[in-house]
Amino acid sequence: MVCKEETKVTMNKMKIITLLFGALFLTMCVPPEGGNQNLSKDKAKLDSLRKVRCPRLMSSAAEYYRNRDWKQTVRIYEEITTLDCDEWNPVFAPPQEIYQYYAIAYEQMGKFDSSEFVLLDGLQKLPESVELRKRLAYSYKRQGKKEKEIIEFERIIDMAPLDISIMNDLSKLYKDESRFDDQIYILEKILKVDGSNEIAQSELAMAFESSGRDPLDVYRKRHEDNPENLSYGLDYADRLTQVDRSADATLVLDGVIRQDPTSKLAYRKLAEAHKETNNLKKAANAYEELFQIDPRDGRIAVDISDIYIDVGNYSKALRWAEKAMSLSNGNGSGLGQKAKVYFYGWDTFRQNPFSIDDRIVAKLAYDYFVKAEDKGFLGFTKRGWLEENSKDILYGKAQWFMADDRVKRTRSISPTSSNYDWVTEHLKAEPNWK
C-alpha cells in the first residue's frame, strides 16, 4: 500500500502538470502570439522557482541525510521530485542520486513499499540504471517478494553481463529456491568471465550434486585448469575416492605432492587412498613420509603401527607403537596402541590349548590396556574381555608357581618361541606371585 507521503507527491506533481497542460490548452484557444507568450511566462516562472528552490532543497536534503533525519530527508526529496529539479539541471541535481537517496531514506524508516514506489518512479526516467535496479531488488527482498527480486536481478544481468557480483547474488537466489539448473547456468556464465573463480567452481560442484548430476567432471576440470591450486587437486582426489576410484586418486595426489612435498594433508590422503586399494606397503610409505614432515605427531605413529598390524609385521608395529607412546603427551593413545599390537599378535599366534608364551603376551596386552584406560584412553581395548577370561588366557599366579628357579630369581619372564621373537619386553612378576 502506498503511504501518505507518496500520495502527496503524486498530487503535487499533478498540480504542476495540470498547470503546464492548462497553459498549453490556452495556447490552443487564443491567437498563437498571445498563447506562446503566456506559455513562455509560465515556463519562466517555473524555471525561476526552480532556480531559487532546487539548490536550497538539494543542500537541505544532503544535510538531513548526513544527520540521519530520515523523515525530513523524505520530505525534501518529495519536493525535489515534484519540482523535477533533475530535469531543470541534471548536473546539479543528478536524477540517479536523487531517487537512490530518496529510496534509502524510506528504507531506513522501514517503509520498503514506499522505497519500491520511489524507485519505480525513478526507473521511468532512468530505465538503464543498474544502481536503481539493485536497490529495487533489495526492496523486493525486504518485502519477501522473492520472484520479483529474481526477475529484477535477471534484468540487471542483461544490462551488466560481466558483473560477477550480481551473478553471484542471482546464483544464491536460485540456490535458495532450489532452482539448481538455473544456478548452474549462471555459475557457468561466471566461469566464462573468470575461469579461475574459486567460489563459482565450488558452488558449481555443489549445484551439480544438488541437481542429481555427477560433479566429477567439474572437480576434474577445475583441477586441470588450475593445477597450481593444491586444494582443487585434493578435492578432486576426494571425489575420486568417493566413487571407488582410489587408484586414480593416488595419481592425482602424487601430482599434488610433487608440487608441494611438505603437504601433510596430501600425504595423509595418499596413505588412505592406498589403503583403499589394499596397497598397504605404499600406505605405510606415505605415512612414514608424513612422519618425516611432522615427527612430533603421535597420531601418525599410531596409523603406521596399525598398517603393520594389518600386514602382520608385529615387530615394526611394536616399534611404531612405542614411538607413539613417547609422543602421546600422557593421553594413553600410545599405551593403547602397544596393547593393541600385543593383542593382535597373540590372536594371530595363539595355540590350542594356550601355551605359556601365549599367556605371557596376553598378560602384556591386558596390562597395557589397563594403563591406557587409566590415562583416559577410549579407543580399541579388550581389557574387559581379557579380564573375564583371565584364568584361561592370562599368565598368572598359577603359571608363576610352575616357573623354573631362574625365572623366579629374576622375577620376570618373556616368551621364547619363534612366533613371539618380536616381543622384546619382559613380563614383570606381580607382588602376590610368591
399-409 mean pLDDT: 92
427 DSSP β-pair partners: 413
Asked if 36 contacts 26 with a C-beta cutoff of 8 angstroms, the reply is no
Confidence at residue 222, expressed as pLDDT on a 0 to 100 scale: 79
Asked if 187 contacts 203 with a C-beta cutoff of 8 angstroms, the reply is yes
Give the torsion sign (CA, 299, 300, 305, 308).
Answer: positive
Helix (H) or strand (E) holding 427: strand 427-428
Give the torsion sign (CA, 273, 276, 282, 284).
Answer: positive
Per-residue pLDDT tens for 278-308?
Answer: 999 999 999 999 999 999 999 999 999 999 9
Q: Is the pLDDT of residue 39 over 80?
A: no
Neighbours of 151 (CB within 10 A): 13
| 403 Cβ contact list (under 8 Å, min separation 6) | 413
Q: What are phi and psi of 60, to 5 degrees?
A: -65, -40
How far apart, in whole angstroms, are the C-alpha atoms of residue 149 and residue 129?
16
Per-residue pLDDT tens for 105-138?
Answer: 999 999 999 999 999 999 999 999 999 999 999 9
Residue type, 74: V
Confidence at residue 420, expressed as pLDDT on a 0 to 100 scale: 97
Strand pairing class (412-413; 427-428)? antiparallel
Q: How many residues does the chain have?
A: 434
Give the torsion sign (CA, 101, 103, 105, 107).
Answer: negative
Confidence at residue 218, expressed as pLDDT on a 0 to 100 scale: 82
Per-residue pLDDT tens for 202-254?
Answer: 898 889 888 888 788 888 887 888 888 898 899 999 999 988 999 999 999 99
More confident residue, 377 or 21: 377
Asked if 134 contacts 125 with a C-beta cutoff of 8 angstroms, the reply is no
How far apart, in whole angstroms, are the C-alpha atoms of residue 223 and residue 252?
9
Give the torsion sign (CA, 285, 290, 291, 292).
Answer: positive
Residue type, 215: P
Cell of 255: 601430482
Confidence at residue 338, expressed as pLDDT on a 0 to 100 scale: 97
pTM: 0.63
The verdict on whether omega for the bond into residue 415 sits within 30 degrees of 0, i.e. cis, is no
- Give the pLDDT band (50/70/90) at residue 42: low
How far apart, in whole angstroms, are the C-alpha atoms of residue 59 and residue 47?
18
Half-sphere exposure (CA, 13 Å, Cβ side) for 172? 9
User: How many percent of the chain have pLDDT more than 70?
Assistant: 90
Residue type, 189: K
41-70 mean pLDDT: 86
Helix (H) or strand (E) holding 355: none
CA distances from 271 to 247, 262, 276 (A): 11, 15, 9
Half-sphere exposure (CA, 13 Å, Cβ side) for 292? 10
Give me the residue spans of the domains in the chain. Answer: 1-160, 328-434
Per-residue pLDDT tens for 159-188?
Answer: 999 999 999 999 999 999 999 999 999 998
Specify the 3-state DSSP secondary structure of 110: coil
393-401 mean pLDDT: 95
How far apart, in whole angstroms, are the C-alpha atoms of residue 434 and residue 432?
6
Confidence at residue 3, expressed as pLDDT on a 0 to 100 scale: 44
* Correct CATH for 1-160 of 3.40.50.150, 1.10.150.530, 3.40.1030.10, 1.25.40.10: 1.25.40.10
Q: Which of 225-239, 251-265, 336-350 shows the lowest mean pLDDT across its residues?
A: 225-239
Q: Chain-wide mean pLDDT for the chain?
A: 88
User: How many percent of the chain have pLDDT more than 90?
Assistant: 72
